[in-house]
Structure 1
Amino acid sequence: MRAARAVSALAAVVLLGLSVTACGSRATGAAGPMYASRDDLPERLAPDGTTIVVGDAKAMPVRLYEDMRCPVCEEFEVRGASSDLLEMTLRRQVRTEYVLASFLDDRAGGSGSKKAANALRAALEEGKFVEYHARLFENQPEEAIDGYTDAFLLDMASLVDGLRGPAFDSAVREMKYADFVAASERAFDESGAPGTPTMDINGRRLPEWQTGVLFEKGLLPLYIRDRNGEPAG
């Protein structure tokens, strides 16, 4: 799989070609001062009730479809281009939108994807989605173990300042946001995304053959800027 990704990344570089040197002049303009850190990023639930939006509402949207049990999502978030996407979000060049799938529970057994998505929705209520999302991926259990238990999710929440409390803990244990979890999975299904992670840039899907840009740091910002949010299909 890594070899295939390397080929995709190389293809992306070839696709960008000589235009890379001109990317700076075509970068998405920032709408205001840069956010100081991910802790300062605004986060909210979109009107559709299934999309969690992070960053400047006026910035170009980059939508991510993720399943919290997915090891390929973990590779993107921990070792891939997630840090580049975060930097662009901090600079108000894009806003990041998350749709949380939970199909791996049915494929691998268990309920960890659903529990993690529910806990992330609870974290959003506390204004701690971004920090908690990062913690969960940094400590992602093996996919087959179904390790996103209530106890694990609460332990991870203890690592995020200000997240733990009666409301959050109860929401985790009682699956308060089960309706959100189910609706988010339906939104993923209806999106036509082939799996996770899948990325839409300004409403245009990143083609599967170019997904190498998600796993090689430095390529994704060039891709977004060079294509002005309209990657070749």
Structure 2
Amino acid sequence: MSEKNREGKRTARERLAVEREKQKSAEKRRRALIVGASVVCVLGLAAVIGVVAANSGKDKGTKSSGPVVAPSGAQGKDSLAIPVGKDSAKSTLTIWEDFRCPACQAFETTYRSTIHELTDSSQMRVEYHLVRLIDGNLGGTGSLRAGNAAACAQDAGKFRDYHDVLYENQPKETDDAFASNSKLIELAGKVSGLDTATFRTCVNKGNHDSWVDKSNAAFKAGGFTGTPTVILNGKNIYADQTMTPAKLKQLVQQADKG
């Protein structure tokens, strides 16, 4: 074989090797982009469903002492549920929530008008369970204090309105602003007729602190993994990534028609 032919074959092999390296590099970049996109989607989903809030590590929150006093009208096992809507409704939406939880606020912002519509039309009733995961994860007492204040609002027949005000004025997750009773009483001023001497005493004395702690213990015992946990007629609908307010309304209306 001539030197010229050998040189030509060597050049061809080198070109082929270079081309293969280019293909390998392109494949690595493609895989990196796919993995990167997957991570972004997972992290985005985590932010929405409260995976960070769900991390039920060692409870750093202060434990309450004293008797367990359920708010007026509380229902269910151990009277741990605050009901909104008529008992005769054919659908029941159970919500486990934490007033410091940003994912709970996101859920409220998206679904509130639909939930109000369905409860006001007697097609659905809601059972609210108050927990304090963020107190346990980040420390502080804002979840507890806000939960107690919401229970005090239930005593006054103003739970739903005050519940909505708390989420509309929710501080950043790392800001324990709800630990201040004066802040919670200030927000009560946004609900007509709520800021009374009775309400203030209930908030300042922590009448329902032990009840909130008991609700939090029930949440953990139930094996739930994060807040909000939203269950419609026994089915966890928050885990359904196709769920929308429109779909929730459709499911409730179907149940209402039997």
TM-score (norm 2): 0.67
Query: Structure 1: which 5+ residue stretches go unaligned?
Result: 9-42
Q: CA deviation at 1:4?
A: 4.0
Paired position in structure 2 for 1:74: 105
Partner of 2:175: 145
Residue 162 (structure 1) shift = 0.8
Contact conserved, 2:101 with 2:173, CA < 8 A, in 1? Answer: yes
Residue matched to 1:39: none
Residue from 125, 141, 149 that aligns with 1:95: 125
How big is the shift at 1:197? 0.9
The 5 Å alignment of 1:16-165 reads 44-47=73-76, 48-59=78-89, 60-78=91-109, 80-148=110-178, 149-165=180-196
1:221 equivalent to 2:252? Answer no
1:44–1:54: 8 Å Cα contact kept in structure 2? no
Count of aligned positions = 188
Distance 1:188 1:101 in 2: 7
Q: 1:223 to 1:151 in 2, by over 3 A?
A: same
Aligned-residue offset at 1:92 = 0.6
Larger helix fraction of residues: 2
1: CA distance, partners of 2:207 / 2:252: 37
CA distance in 2, matches of 1:91, 1:192: 32
Q: Percent identity?
A: 32
Distance 1:112 1:118, change over 3 A: same
Contact 1:61 1:95 in 2 (8 A): yes
1:162-197 CA-partner distances (Å, limit 9, x unpaired): 111111101111211112111111121122221111
Give the greater-gyration-radius structure (CA): 2
What are structure 2's unaligned runs of at least 5 residues? 1-40, 50-71
RMSD after superposition: 2.2
Question: Which deviations, in whole Å up to 9, do the C-alpha atoms of 1:83-127 show, x marking residues without a partner?
Answer: 111111111111011001112101011000000000011000100
Aligned partners of 2:231 and 2:238 also within 8 Å: no
Report deviation, 1:212: 5.0
Q: Which structure ranks higher in relative contact order (CA pairs < 8 Å, sequence separation ≥ 6)?
A: 1
Deviation at 1:203, TM superposition (A): 2.0
Sort the Cα spacing of 1:116 and 1:99 in 2 relative to 1 into closer, same or farther, 3 A.
same
Secondary structure in structure 2 of the residue aligned to 1:44: coil
Q: CA deviation at 1:207?
A: 5.8
Q: Which amino acid aligns with 2:250?
A: L
Give per-residue Cα distances to partners, 1:27-85, cap 9 Å, x unaligned. xxxxxxxxxxxxxxxx831053210001101112110010110001101112x122111
Cα separation, 1, equivalents of 2:234 and 2:147: 23
